């Protein structure tokens, strides 16, 4: 593949982080799914060479930080969330030296790096698990996991009735060296992802070492995978029939987790430049969620509540209000997330009759109005970019990529297989990015590991670069304005009442964001200047669009005319 040359980026000293000054409170963070971003060596799998070659693109987007989904050595049984060795880069993605270069080159462009840490489980190929299997029942090596005898006289019964986030069983049975059935081990996800025992001191020590390993290499933060799951009730009680308990759940949101994350925060605080902890915390209870964000714990956590809302002014407004209210008492900024590598792409989701998101509802062949979804995804992008807090962009959303319905034989995601083939899984949002040209691989590199659709020619970076009204240029303009307008930096938000289908709020004393989620155009409120809009305005705000309005002259006259 031809690569863009990095103009004059001598690798910075990776140990020198610029002073933070709360950078993470308002940062725009771009999620790189390495396997699908850009392929530098032509083998069809994205890699660090590819990412390095595209740093100028990320700079032009204006993002403050990159979050890399796991890039460590892994059998990729769950896309890398099955880590075999945290201190090595998977050979398909590159080398540790290249990761160090990437971190330094990004930092030289003013872009920080966040890596993914997966505390709940490791790969069954990790040396600890292999040692545990070899050492046998009762061994200290097995104490780092949840090995258990099965129920019943012959131990054939599964030890608990816990349910997997990936459907199917949460325990698998081992075989003894003599071929007889052995103990069971716990895995909340796939059998290739055995759960760690966080009551064991080695587990805690090792993770703090891993944090230091990456902080020493200049990363600015860690995203904590499945952060509410690692601690288990050692009594391994069954879940009661019916609804699972909201508190004292045997494996979700246990109080002991907070001490672990306080320990991680202490490690992060040993370093300069504000190294941050970002939690993947899926919890319905707002008060329990906010506990993870108390002073001395995580800096921020993903706000999935908003992400799952349907295209409804009332539902979204309620969610925004709830979000801000739950964060305020602990003094943490909210995060705004429209999607990630697990979630149906917004373009597809917002075009569906039921535009809310739930894992268990994903089905092949769900009808979507692609044009409407695309309009709404643009409007949603501006809406979230105007909210107080930090903003996450999943790679490809800035190009308006839709979810891809893949041929069955291309799917690799275990969620698909564990659903018995009913759920298409998550690969549809992981299709490699289109960079240029009219046909696959669209400048990605070699023949992509997941097939790209034939009609992505108009969605490439090259095509969108050239179009001032493209989704890519909308994202660039929004990120640039977010940085320039002081009103968008603070934590305040005041709702305006402009009708049941209109989501309108004021930031600071001079900037309005107005979204029309209804079916008919609405008048724009009085304003001095349109700063940016997701659709042509023509004096009114059309359905499925957002406009940013200035109430007074806030920008220098030289600012480019809004679209």
Minimum distance from residue 230 beta carbon to ligand NOJ (Å): 11
Q: Which two tokens stand for residue 275?
A: 């190294």
Q: Considering beta carbons, is residue 225 or 487 the nearer one to ligand NOJ?
A: 225
Answer yes or no: 280 catalytic. no
Burial of 479 (0-12, 13-18, 19+ CB in 10 A): buried
In this complex, which beta carbon is closest to ligand NOJ, that of residue 105 or of residue 116?
116
Radius of gyration of the chain (CA): 24
Q: Comparing C-alpha atoms, which of 441, 433, 329 is closest to residue 43?
A: 441
**Which helix (H) or strand (E) covers residue 266, if one does?**
helix 257-269
Please list, in sequence order, all residues whose beta carbon lies within 8 angstroms of the beta carbon of residue 429, skipping any fewer than 6 positions away: 339, 341, 342, 343, 344, 345, 394, 396, 403, 404
In the complex, least distance from residue 413 CB atom to ligand NOJ, rounded to whole angstroms: 8
Query: Among 13, 270, 272, 467, which one carries the catalytic annotation?
Result: 270
Contact (CB, 8 A) for 17 and 218: yes
For the CB of residue 339, give the shortest distance to ligand NOJ in the complex, in Å.
11
Closest to ligand NOJ by CB, 394 or 456: 394
CB of 113 to ligand NOJ, least distance (A): 18
- Nearest Cα to Cα of residue 336 among 316, 314, 357, 360: 316
Cα separation, 444 vs 493, whole angstroms? 41
Pick the closer one to ligand NOJ by CB: 280 or 403: 280
Identify whether the C-beta of residue 166 lies closer than 8 Å to the C-beta of residue 189: yes
b/e string for 343-354 if b means 16 or more Cβ within 10 A? bbbbbbbbbbee
What is the closest distance, in whole angstroms, from the C-beta atom of residue 422 to ligand NOJ in the complex? 18
Taking CB atoms, the residue at the shortest distance from ligand NOJ is 81
Place of tokens 């083998």: 43
Query: Taking the complex as a whole, how short is the minimal distance between the CB of residue 351 and ligand NOJ, in angstroms?
Result: 24
Least Å distance between CB 258 and ligand NOJ?
Answer: 20
| Catalytic position from the list 225, 274, 403, 413 | 225
Q: 302 or 548: whose CB is closer to ligand NOJ? A: 302
Query: Strands of 335-337's sheet, edge to edge?
Result: 300-301, 276-279, 221-224, 112-117, 65-68, 28-32, 390-394, 335-337
The least CB distance from residue 341 to ligand NOJ, in Å, is: 6
Give the residue with the Cβ less far from ligand NOJ, 15 or 422.
422
Continuous H helices in 144-230: 201-216
Residues with Cβ < 8 Å from 538, sequence gap 6 or more? Answer: none
Residue 116 vs 544, nearer CB to ligand NOJ: 116
> For residue 463, what are the contacts with CB-CB under 8 A and spacing of at least 6?
436, 457, 470
Q: Which is nearer to ligand NOJ, 24 or 166 (CB)?
A: 166
Residues that bind ligand NOJ (CB under 6 A): 78-79, 81, 118, 189, 225-226, 280, 341-342
Give the 3-state secondary structure of residue 6.
coil
**Nearest-approach distance from CB 282 to ligand NOJ, in angstroms:** 9
Whether 382 contacts 338, CB under 8 Å: no
Q: Residue 257's Cα: distance from chain center in Å? A: 21
CA distances 228 to 256, 262, 267, 398, Å, are 10, 14, 19, 29
Q: How far is the CB of 193 from ligand NOJ (least distance, A)?
A: 7
Tokens at 530, concatenated? 């349109």
Helix (H, G, I), strand (E, B) or coil at 166: coil
Backbone CA torsion sign across 474, 477, 482, 485 = negative
270 counts as catalytic:
yes
Nearer to ligand NOJ, 57 or 67 (CB): 67
Residue 81 or 505: the one with the smaller Cβ distance to ligand NOJ is: 81
Please, is 48 exposed, middle or buried when counting C-beta atoms within 10 Å of its C-beta (0-12, 13-18, 19+)?
buried
Cα dihedral 263, 268, 271, 274 sign: negative
Tell me the C-alpha distance between 19 and 492, whole Å: 25
Q: Which residues are catalytic?
A: 225, 270
């Amino acid at each position: 593949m031809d690569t863009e040359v990095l103009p004059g980026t001598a690798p910075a000293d990776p140990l020198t982080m610029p002073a933070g000054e709360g950078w993470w409170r308002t940062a725009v963070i771009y999620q790189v799914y390495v396997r699908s971003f850009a392929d530098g060596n032509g083998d069809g799998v994205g890699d660090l060479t590819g990412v390095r070659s595209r740093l100028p693109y990320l700079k032009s987007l204006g993002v403050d930080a990159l979050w890399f989904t796991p890039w460590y050595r892994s059998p990729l049984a769950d896309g890398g969330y099955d880590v075999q060795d945290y201190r090595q880069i998977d050979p398909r993605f590159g080398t540790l030296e290249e990761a160090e270069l990437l971190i330094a080159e990004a930092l030289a462009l003013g872009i920080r790096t966040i890596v993914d840490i997966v505390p709940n489980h490791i790969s069954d190929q990790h040396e600890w698990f292999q040692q545990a299997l070899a050492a046998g029942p009762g061994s200290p090596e097995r104490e780092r996991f949840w090995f258990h005898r099965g129920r019943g006289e012959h131990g054939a019964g599964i030890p608990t009735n816990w349910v997997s986030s990936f459907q199917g069983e949460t325990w698998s049975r081992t075989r003894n060296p003599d071929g007889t059935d052995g103990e069971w081990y716990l895995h909340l996800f796939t059998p290739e992802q055995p759960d760690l025992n966080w009551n064991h001191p080695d587990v805690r020590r090792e993770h703090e070492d891993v944090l230091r390993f990456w902080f020493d290499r200049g990363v600015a933060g860690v995203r904590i995978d499945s952060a509410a799951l690692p601690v288990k009730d050692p009594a391994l009680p069954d879940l009661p029939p019916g609804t699972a308990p909201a508190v004292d759940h045997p494996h979700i949101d246990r109080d002991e987790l907070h001490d672990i994350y306080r320990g991680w925060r202490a490690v992060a605080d040993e370093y300069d430049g504000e190294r941050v902890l970002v939690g993947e915390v899926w919890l319905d209870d707002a008060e329990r969620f906010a506990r993870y964000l108390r002073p001395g714990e995580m800096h921020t956590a993903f706000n999935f509540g908003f992400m799952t809302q349907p295209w409804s002014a009332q539902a979204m407004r309620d969610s925004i209000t709830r979000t801000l209210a739950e964060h305020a008492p602990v003094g943490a900024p909210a995060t705004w997330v429209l999607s990630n590598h697990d979630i149906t792409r917004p373009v597809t989701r917002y075009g569906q009759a039921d535009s809310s998101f739930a894992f268990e509802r994903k089905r092949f062949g769900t009808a979507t109005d692609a044009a409407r979804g695309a309009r709404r995804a643009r409007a949603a992008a501006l809406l979230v970019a105007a909210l107080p807090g930090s903003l996450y962009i999943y790679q490809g959303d800035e190009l308006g990529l839709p979810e891809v319905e893949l041929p069955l034989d291309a799917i690799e995601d275990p969620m698909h297989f564990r659903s018995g083939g009913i759920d298409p899984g998550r690969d549809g949002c992981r299709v490699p990015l289109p960079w240029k040209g009219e046909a696959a691989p669209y400048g990605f590199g070699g023949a992509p590991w997941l097939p790209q659709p034939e009609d992505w020619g108009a969605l490439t970076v090259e095509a969108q670069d050239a179009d001032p009204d493209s989704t890519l240029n909308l994202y660039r303009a929004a990120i640039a304005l977010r940085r320039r307008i002081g009103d968008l930096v603070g934590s305040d938000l005041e709702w305006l009442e402009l009708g049941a289908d209109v989501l309108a709020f004021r930031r600071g004393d001079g900037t309005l964001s107005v979204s029309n989620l209804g079916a008919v155009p609405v008048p724009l409120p009085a304003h001095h200047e349109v700063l940016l809009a997701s659709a042509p305005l023509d004096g009114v705000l059309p359905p499925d669009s957002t406009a940013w309005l200035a109430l007074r002259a806030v920008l220098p006259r030289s600012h480019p005319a809004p679209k």
